[in-house]
Every structure is written in structure tokens, then in C-alpha cells.
Structure 1
Amino acid sequence: MSTSTPPQKDLLVIGELNMDLILDDVQSFPELGKEKIAGDLNLTLGSSSAIFAGNSSRLGLAVAFCGMIGDDDFGKTIIPQLQEYGVDTSLITVTNKYKTGLTAIIRYADDRAMVTYPGAMEHFALADIPEEAFGQARHMHISSIFLQPGIKEDLPAIIDRASSAGMTISIDTQWDPEEHWDLDFEHLLSRIDFFLPNEDEFLNMTGSSSVEEAIDRFQPYLTDGTVIIKQGTRGATYFTSDTIKSIPGYTNPDPVDTVGAGDSFNAGVIYRFLQGDPLERCIKFGNITGAVSTTAPGGTQALTSLNDILHTAKNKLSITDSDDFTS
């Protein structure tokens, strides 16, 4: 990246795009040959990457999104929604070869099940990312690698391009539907700045029964990067090559929806990182944005602006620490 041409964006998000069909208050788990009743239905913009991009934009970052959607009704819904969040959609490929992806979410009182049709996201790869995309932002975030086999295969080359352009890099693999967890984590963790799994993902990808055991397995892979393990209301545990520490979280006593809370955490962390904040302050703010996310349905409705986030944190969740981020 030429030093005479500074990046136009703060953040380039590379990832999946799909709609979420949400069935709420389902009576019991579906059974073959039997019909169950849902109490409510919503069709919203889904995908970890889109939630992260939208919330990062509303925090004040200049965000560009690079992904693939079908030339269909779902695809035509996604782009205006991202634009409404303030996200630059000019790098999104619209194809008539594949359909836009869809995730059906069946929610019960205390848990949920998901079925995803990958569609276009399954075919998205490095060849679909314009070369100039890597020079136009300070930071690159990639999510949902296991839903995007093309991105998964091309990941080393994508990281090389971003690093050569002077970008910092964060990755959240999300869950592996096949539970193979077949990434070269040793190589990956030595090349990126932030790795952002949740606790369940972290235990499964390391084949461990405890966070301590999992850290022991991955810590030798780190050089300058940081792994941040999302742990819900318990907060987050981070480790570097020589440090392990937990940062307490915040509790919403009456959560409306936890969908997208992890992506909202990621947005908070990367936002503060790009402001030049120290690591623990970044994680503390991520804990705030993750908690605030649970005060409204969907992954993007609660995080409307930085001021609104801090107001909700203080007045609805009694998080007095939010005052630390008013300036």
C-alpha cells in the first residue's frame, strides 16, 4: 500500500451474507410427520459478517463490505439494509448463478436450532475480491469461514494480500457445521492480530475440555497476536504469547435476544482498537456492546449509535463503566 495514498475506509469486512427467517416461541422440537406452532415470525438481515459490519458502522467506523449474493428478492433486500447502516456495498458481487443464502432459526424458551442454506456464500472466494479492496481500509475482518469453503481455501492468500497492504486483521471463524475444525490454526494465529471465538467454538476447535487446556494448546502458536474468548455474561478471557487474563462481563437481567451479541462484542473491540485504545479497554468496551445488543431483537437494532449504546448501558443495564467511554 502506497504511503502517499492513505486508506479511504477504517474497516473491510469479508464474509457471508444471508437472510434470517426466525420462528419464535416454538412449542417443542420439530418431529418428522408432525406440525408445530410458532408464536411469532420475522425475516431479517442475518449473517455474522453483516451484523458486525452494521454495528461497526453505527459506532462510527467507515466500513466496506465484500461478499456475494444472488440476483433475487433476498439479495435485493440485503444491500439496502447494509446501506441504511452506512456500509459501503460497492464491493458486493451480485450473481445470477446462485441464490442468496438463508438461515432458518427455530427458537425455544432457552435455546435455538439453526438450519442454513449457504447459496452464493458457498461459492465466494479470493477471485471475487477486487485487488484494490485490500488497499482501501486499515483493518480487515473475516467471519464464518466454515460456511465459505472458497474463502477457507484461499485464507492464507487473503491474509497475505491484507498484510502486504499494511492492514491489521481479525478473524471469527464461527461454528463449523461439520465439526471438523480443519484449519491450520498454528499458521493462522501466527499471522493475524485478533482471533475471536466463543468458548464453545474454542473448546471444540482445540479438542479440549477446559479453557485452560485449550489455551495451553494454542498459546505456543502466538507471536504478536491476541486470542479473545467470548464467554457471554462472564465476559471474555484473552491471551497473548505471554499473558492470560479474564475481563468481567455485564449482565442483562431481562435479555430480549442474544442473536448477534458475539458479533456486537467483536464490533466494540475492533472499534476501540482502531481508536488506538489499549487491549483491555477494547475488551471492556466489547463486553458493553455485547450486553447492549441483547436489549433489542436481532443483532443490529440495539446498537444505533455510540451515544445510544452508552445511554442504554448506563440507564437500562446499570453499567456505570460506560461513562469511561464518553470521551
Structure 2
Amino acid sequence: MSSTPVAGSDDPAIVVVGSINADLTVRVPRLPEPGETLTGTDFRIAWGGKGANQAAAAAALGARTLLVGAVGDDENGAGSLADLRERGVDISFVEIGGEHTGVAVIQVDAAAENTIAIVAGANATVSAELVSDALARIEGTAVVVSNLEVPDAAVERAAEDAERRGWAFVLNPAPARPLSAELVARTTVITPNATEFDVLGGADVLGAAQAIVVTRGADGCDIRVGDALTRVPAASARPVDTTGAGDAFTAGLAVALLEGRPLDDAVRFAAASGAIATEGPGARGARLTRAAVEARLGES
């Protein structure tokens, strides 16, 4: 990690604390049943990880974006970092260590649905100290985004430090695992999908966050603030691959919040971002831009 502060700009920033993976994707006619072997039709290696995907999407939407994470000293790590640099993500706070870069194995069927298995690798080494060091060097206003592909201590520190700085904290609770009450209470917006919402205990557990936004794919999403529930329809899409759609949604939400948009408007911006992300192969294969999102919003 660079010891030079990313300081030098007090422009508002998205700071993502999260994972960096190499995605190994196989296209199959349908998702296999347990114990079943299917013949795939295509294989590709692409750069992913929820943290890296969220950072790449935020940068594509025009936000100053920094990523806090870790990769291995290997080809997958080098490739991941080169891709992030090209996409305009500041990687000054990405550590390069002894563990291998994280890996995700993805199956995508003819309907663009997917299953994903991950091996954490270097992502498991992301520490609370790394997070605090990074956030302490950020000047100006920020929205901090995190997910659960890095250790709990790193996520909890991101929430604590964001709260102390008066910054919004957006948590994408995937892959779902039990969350501490303190973490939920420090969260500005939590963005589970419908399955994660149920697994995590629903509104009874997640209601301590300022807002819950439950994504439901083609069925749109729900905004829960206290006892109030608002349904936001899905943006139009021509899906090719849903991998990374939730990451683009979370990034779009964070960018919109950074710009001061009301939550309802921020969720609509996020929904359009997520819809566009399904229209290309892999997590970052779609042409996600601010102009594309604004145009998609204009269609509704």
C-alpha cells in the first residue's frame, strides 16, 4: 500500500472496502442439479470481486473512487489491478500480499441466471487497521461502501470510521452471514437481495439501519424506512448475464447519495445502473456510464 495520502483532492469520493477476485465463468444451458454434470458452452476469465465491481461501477458513473482491499502477488492480482487502474479506480490502498488473489467460480445459464462460489484468498487478510489507515487519509466528503467478502473486523471498522467522520455507510450484505447489531445500527442503507433479506432476519434484524433497500431483480426493489414501505419498479433491461448487477446497483446508490439525491431518486438511479450491468458478459462487461443511466431513467 502506498504511504502517500490520497489526499490532494477534497472532491467527494466513494470509498469501497471489499473484495478483489478473478472470475472463472462457465456458460451452461441451465444450472445443474446437485450431483449433475453438464457440458458448458463457453469459458472466460474476467476480473471481479464485489468490492472491485462496486468500485469499477462507481468510477464508470463518474465518481472519484478509491478501493481498500488486498490481492496476491500473482497474475490474477496484477490483472485485477491493471483493470481497475484502466477504469479510473484509485488503488493506493490495495495491499499486495502472500495469499493468492481471491477466485470466484460462476455458472451462467441461458436465462442469464447464475450461481457463484468464492475462495477468499487475499481478501481474508483485509484488516481493520488497513481500513482505518485508508479512511484517515481521505479528505473531504465520502460515502463508504462495503460487502461481506472481507472479514467482519474490516467491515465493522469501515462503519465505525464512517460514522465518526459523518459519512454515509452503505452495506451490501453478501454473501449473507449474521451481522452484529452495532454494524446494522451504523449503516445508512443496507442493500440485501430478497434471499439475503430473509436469511438475515428481515426487517426485525435489519430495521436498525436507517434504510433497507431490498433488490428483487425483474420485480424491482423495496425501500423500507421504519414502518414505511415503497416499491420501486425495475428499470428496463435486455439481460445477458446478471453477474455483478447487485454490485452496480449498490454503486449507483452510493454515487447518488454522494450527490445528495433523496433516497427514492437514489434507488431509481441504482436500479437503472443495475439493469444496464446485466446487458454485457461478466460483472463489468456492460457499457455502464452516467449517460446510459440517465437515458434509461428517461425511458421510465
- Report the TM-score, using the length of structure 1 for normalisation: 0.81
> 1:188/1:39 Cα in 2 relative to 1: closer, same or farther (>3 Å)?
same
**Correspondences of 1:1-327 after superposition (within 5 Å):** 7-25=10-28, 29=32, 36-95=38-97, 97-110=98-111, 111-129=113-131, 131-136=133-138, 138-143=142-147, 145=148, 147-148=149-150, 151-176=151-176, 181-184=177-180, 186-206=181-201, 214-219=202-207, 221-222=208-209, 225-252=210-237, 254-311=238-295, 313=296, 320-321=299-300
Q: Following the alignment from structure 1 to structure 2, what is the Cα–Cα distance between the partners of residues 198 and 231?
A: 6
CA apart distance, 1:31: 7.9
Deviation readout 1:256-281 (Å, 9 max, x if unpaired): 11111111111221111111111111
CA apart distance, 1:157: 3.4
| Runs of 4+ that moved beyond 4 A | none
CA contact (8 A) 1:134 1:162 kept: no
> 1:299/1:112 Cα in 2 relative to 1: closer, same or farther (>3 Å)?
closer
- Segments of structure 2 that go 5 or more residues without pairing to the other structure are 1-7
Kindly name which structure, 1 or 2, has the bigger radius of gyration based on alpha carbons: 1
CA apart distance, 1:297: 1.2
- Report the TM-score, using the length of structure 2 for normalisation: 0.88
Percent of residue pairs identical: 22
Question: SS of 2:106's equivalent?
Answer: strand
CA contact (8 A) 2:213 2:223 kept: yes
Q: Following the alignment from structure 1 to structure 2, what is the Cα–Cα distance between the partners of residues 66 and 42?
A: 26
Q: Which has the higher contact order (CA 8 A, sep 6+)?
A: 2
Question: SS of 1:129's equivalent?
Answer: helix
> 1:284/1:304 Cα in 2 relative to 1: closer, same or farther (>3 Å)?
closer
Greater strand content: 2
Q: Following the alignment from structure 2 to structure 1, what is the Cα–Cα distance between the partners of residues 154 and 70?
A: 15
Deviation readout 1:140-192 (Å, 9 max, x if unpaired): 1111x2x32xx30344333222222232211112123xxxx3221x3222212
Q: Following the alignment from structure 1 to structure 2, what is the Cα–Cα distance between the partners of residues 9 and 83?
A: 19
Q: Following the alignment from structure 1 to structure 2, what is the Cα–Cα distance between the partners of residues 121 and 130?
A: 16
CA apart distance, 1:100: 0.6
CA apart distance, 1:29: 3.0
RMSD across aligned positions (CA): 2.3
